[in-house]
Structure 1
Amino acid sequence: MAPSRRAPTADGTARRRVTATDVAREAGVSQATVSYVLNNTPGQTIPAHTRERVQDAVARLGYAPHGAARALRLGRSDVVLFLLPDWPIGPAVVTLVEGLTERLQAQGLSLLVRRAAEGVALSGLWRSVSPAAVVSLDALDGAELEAMEGAGIPVVSALVRPRASAPGVLTGSHTLIGATQLQHLAATGHRHIGYGLPDDPRVAVFRDLRLDGVRTAAFELGLAEPSVRVVPMSVGGAADVVAAWRAESPAVTAVCAYNDDMAFALLAGMRTLGLTAPTDLAVIGVDDTPLAPFAHPPLTTVRQDADAIMDFLTAAVLRRLAGGTPPRPPRSEAITLVVRESA
């Protein structure tokens, strides 16, 4: 077997990129064999000991396939461009990005996450990246969408703000989340219920959908319109809102918090007032974040089936790349009420 080599440049100060030819020479096989092994080419019977020699050579030389060359060979890159709206990067978004990354990596694809800034054209981004596909969680400009599809780049959507021709995959679930919160509080005897609004305008679309679900459920159950207040994300600010709810006539006895983080703030504000949940004020959150069971008291919350969304997006990307149509979106009812001690 030939000795390991990295082929220095003429001046001896730098090393050129290791190629598949170098791997073939190192392993004592043809370049075609290297290609078959690295790409798991179907229909090729490569002996196990030959595969091992190629993989050992790859490890010794530190070979990595050249992205541009691979893109030319396949007719596309292995990058899936994930357009993330200008949302706060909380636990739910992190879970979505991590899960989608893992699922696509298992299929030989890489996820590139970029924020889609409002009013900024995406053409420069997708033209420079040349992605295999684009995943968007929000509605795209019609001309931009047409340009990408016309360039052979499939676009997969799980829209929060639906277009008339494309109902939002995530829309119904967030409305149902709000309804589930209120229905649980009503089922436990509460009749005067508050809703905690976030003060971050970036989450307005989720806020509006969830609040709509709360209001609709209250109307259907014959309850009064929920008392809606903005809850600052500070202990003192949350305490002031709790005091205001309790001062109403009749007093609010339970609150639907926009998410678990807000619920934590409300519970902390209640403690500064000497109040406890659910005796003085019941609180229910959204997201079932990892800290929810450790709240004081443990937080009752609503969990969305993130796996269903990630599975849908992955399957949709793979089907579009194969020339097919996306699968049916996940059912909006894929949410779970997690009952603990706060409500």
Structure 2
Amino acid sequence: MSDASTPRRPTATDVARAAGVSRATVGFVLNQTPGKTISRSTSERVRDEAARLGYRPNGAARTLAGGRSRIVLLVLPDWPMEHTLRDYVEEAALVLEDAGYSLVTHTRRSDGRTRPLWESLHPDIVFGFAPFAPDEVASMRDCGIPKIFPDPARGEPFDISLAVSAGPRLQVQHLYDRGCRSLAYATWAPARPPFLAEARHRAAQAHAHSLGLPPLGLRNTDHRDGSADLAVREWRDTGVTGVAAFNDEVAAAAVGAAVRAGIRVPEELAVIGHDDTPLAAMFVPSLSSIHFSTTALGRFFADLALRELDGRPLPRREATENATLVRREST
């Protein structure tokens, strides 16, 4: 039995009656249906009455009627939701919102026990940082998802090479400029996210090679299990004088382990992080880092999604390559 005290949700028919227009006109105005000539005064009256009544279109019904949900589903790898990723997602959401889309994120868990969100949301596009597995693509196709990016049928991966390579190049160049000739690369233990850590290591490796330096050994470090302490002792014993870290937390673990081992930073071991998080400035000694505009990358993602959805011009690729070096005490 329904609760008579619960207020009835306003419908499009209520809005049409209050605005003095047809139900179809309400749908055309609120769904921004292209090709319909409706006067500005009528459109404003419909929107005003919808706001006054507190009317919210039913998403499922709107999708069935118009064939579009206006939802962009961003599938995230199982990454820590640190502040740089939050900034990225928030900026992308703002750009998409201005274009009339809602951004929803879904984290792809390694255990695979949760149902994929695209099975219930029916988004206009499912977007990922890395190619989707064949079973995921099959699931999306079965659900009738109109667009997938990267699209395996087109063989067009999401090119994040600029975002990946700019920071590591600056890290290696900075260590080289201050006289370090034996370098190492440090990341999480185990690396999270692995493909991004590996890509950054490769970029650092390539730039070191271009400078005539020996290969950068890759070490997984963690302040909780003693691996950072083992790493700095190994670096000391093998003559490593500069460390490029995957992010500022890894850099902090390396610097902390060095201090505990009596290794002078930066005189004996220079360490540079990545992302320029608040930790980098607060840590003692403060951490040199790479400042990267996550908002620019968020806008790039949103522009790329809008290209897929609405055929808008391609985003400017160079907008993502805006990494800058921030010098602090650790180098």
Give the TM-score taking structure 1 as reference length.
Answer: 0.79
Total equivalences in the alignment: 327
Match status 1:177 vs 2:167: yes
SS of residue in 2 equivalent to 1:14: coil
Instruction: Tell me the alpha carbon deviations over residues 252-301 of structure 1, each in whole angstroms, 9 at most, x when there is no partner.
Output: 22211111111122233344445553233211111122332333333222
Greater shift after overlay, 285-294 or 119-128? Answer: 119-128
In the alignment, the residues of structure 1 paired with residue 53 and residue 273 of structure 2 have an alpha-carbon distance, to the nearest angstrom, of 52
Greater shift after overlay, 310-319 or 167-176? Answer: 167-176
In the alignment, the residues of structure 2 paired with residue 164 and residue 282 of structure 1 have an alpha-carbon distance, to the nearest angstrom, of 44
Q: Which residue of 2 aligns with 1:45?
A: 39
Greater shift after overlay, 123-132 or 212-221? Answer: 123-132
Match status 1:100 vs 2:87: no
Q: Which residue of 2 aligns with 1:77?
A: 69
SS of residue in 2 equivalent to 1:88: coil
Q: Which residue of 1 aligns with 2:277?
A: 289
SS of residue in 1 equivalent to 2:252: helix
SS of residue in 2 equivalent to 1:47: helix
Contact 2:248 / 2:277 at 8 angstroms: preserved in 1? yes
Contact 1:288 / 1:338 at 8 angstroms: preserved in 2? no
In the alignment, the residues of structure 1 paired with residue 319 and residue 171 of structure 2 have an alpha-carbon distance, to the nearest angstrom, of 15
60 and 326 in structure 1: CA distance in 2 versus 1, 3 angstrom threshold: closer
120 and 235 in structure 1: CA distance in 2 versus 1, 3 angstrom threshold: closer
Write the letter of the residue equivalent to 1:156: F
In the alignment, the residues of structure 1 paired with residue 217 and residue 304 of structure 2 have an alpha-carbon distance, to the nearest angstrom, of 40
Report how far residue 185 of structure 1 moved. 0.5
In the alignment, the residues of structure 2 paired with residue 173 and residue 329 of structure 1 have an alpha-carbon distance, to the nearest angstrom, of 13
Greater shift after overlay, 186-195 or 284-293? Answer: 284-293
129 and 33 in structure 1: CA distance in 2 versus 1, 3 angstrom threshold: closer
Write the letter of the residue equivalent to 2:317: P
152 and 124 in structure 1: CA distance in 2 versus 1, 3 angstrom threshold: closer
Pairing of 1:251-330 with structure 2 (within 5 A): 251-273=239-261, 276-322=264-310, 324=311, 327=314, 330=317
Match status 1:154 vs 2:155: no
Report how far residue 186 of structure 1 moved. 0.6
Write the letter of the residue equivalent to 1:186: Y
Greater relative contact order (Cα < 8 A, sep 6+): 2
In the alignment, the residues of structure 1 paired with residue 154 and residue 53 of structure 2 have an alpha-carbon distance, to the nearest angstrom, of 54
180 and 124 in structure 1: CA distance in 2 versus 1, 3 angstrom threshold: closer
Q: Which residue of 2 aligns with 1:224?
A: 214
In the alignment, the residues of structure 2 paired with residue 121 and residue 132 of structure 1 have an alpha-carbon distance, to the nearest angstrom, of 24
Match status 1:194 vs 2:184: yes
Write the letter of the residue equivalent to 2:147: P
Contact 2:131 / 2:157 at 8 angstroms: preserved in 1? no
Q: Which residue of 2 aligns with 1:337?
A: 324
Contact 2:85 / 2:294 at 8 angstroms: preserved in 1? no
Report how far residue 95 of structure 1 moved. 2.2
Structure 2: 5+ residue runs without aligned partners?
Answer: none
In the alignment, the residues of structure 1 paired with residue 192 and residue 326 of structure 2 have an alpha-carbon distance, to the nearest angstrom, of 28
> Which of these residues, 115, 122, 132, is aligned with residue 124 of structure 2?
132
Instruction: Tell me the alpha carbon deviations over residues 163-185 of structure 1, each in whole angstroms, 9 at most, x when there is no partner.
Output: 99335412454244333311210
Report how far residue 114 of structure 1 moved. 1.4
Report how far residue 239 of structure 1 moved. 4.2
Instruction: Tell me the alpha carbon deviations over residues 288-327 of structure 1, each in whole angstroms, 9 at most, x when there is no partner.
Output: 22332333333222233434432332223223223x3872
Contact 1:235 / 1:269 at 8 angstroms: preserved in 2? no
Contact 1:37 / 1:46 at 8 angstroms: preserved in 2? no
Contact 1:320 / 1:326 at 8 angstroms: preserved in 2? no
Greater shift after overlay, 122-131 or 224-233? Answer: 122-131
Report how far residue 119 of structure 1 moved. 8.6
SS of residue in 2 equivalent to 1:302: strand
Report how far residue 123 of structure 1 moved. 9.3
Match status 1:205 vs 2:199: no
Q: Which residue of 2 aligns with 1:5?
A: none
Greater shift after overlay, 80-89 or 305-314? Answer: 305-314
Q: CA RMSD in A?
A: 3.6
Contact 1:135 / 1:156 at 8 angstroms: preserved in 2? yes
